[in-house]
Amino acid sequence: MKKLHFFLVVLILIGTVPARSQVGPKTMDPNNQKIKEIAVKVDDAGWVYLDKGKKLSHDEVFTRYKDAFGLGSSDEMIKTKTEEDDLGIKHHSYQQYYKGLIVENFTYLIHEKNGISEIANGEILENIDVSVNPSLSEKEALEIALKNFKSNKWAWEDPDWEEEKKGNKENPSWRPNGELIIINQHGKNQSGGLLVYKFELLSIDPWFHYATYIACNRWEPECKPI
């Protein structure tokens, strides 16, 4: 089977959600005394210039100073990778989790030299307060997703496409598995969170590849691009 490049379109299926006023990250709050304890400056772009005299390791930043970055008791920053550049600076990537679920697209970088954290930058979704127990089952959510797209044949309905997947132990079928995650329901730099199932749908007739999000507590979704 020929290799095909997927054009991934992202759609979200959610109900109407209330708007909130635009707010900035907690690190830029002039009344944030916690960040002042460890930072010499936070610039207009939100980059946190850490006090080298504190000699903080990258692991300490999000464990000892969660409050400074707007993280709640149910939030956790988990390191996903470390890269080192030609200058010997290590760049540690962190992913935000809420009650064990990924908070999609909210990550942070800590830049460390000689074991001392110097700069931190990224985005954190603050004030998340949602149940992580969905009212929809994964099967119900997938049924909603499939009803919103017209396909004459899905990839998992084609024997040739399924044959290609058989050697993949983690994903032995093109039939999508729903991933339960948290997304930002309002927009950039706004607080809140939404529990959703994420599915990737691949149709071969007609051809399309969509990432689709189904809100877990709303029964009358509308489809719109994000």
Predicted TM-score of the model (pTM)? 0.83
Q: What average pLDDT does the chain have?
A: 85
Mean pLDDT of 182-199: 78
Mean pLDDT calculated for residue range 176-199: 82
83-92, 139-148, 192-201, 215-224: least confident range:
215-224
Query: Which residues are within 8 A (CB) of 84 and not within 5 positions of it... i.e. 6 or more apart?
Result: 90, 91
Q: Which CATH number fits domain 26-122: 2.60.40, 1.25.40, 1.10.287, 3.10.450?
A: 3.10.450
C-alpha 175/C-alpha 154 separation (Å) is 8
Measured at the alpha carbon of residue 168, what is the angle toward residues 167 and 170, in degrees to the nearest 5? 150
Indicate whether 192 pLDDT > 70.
yes
Sequence ranges of the domains in the chain: 26-122
Q: What percent of the chain has pLDDT over 90?
A: 70
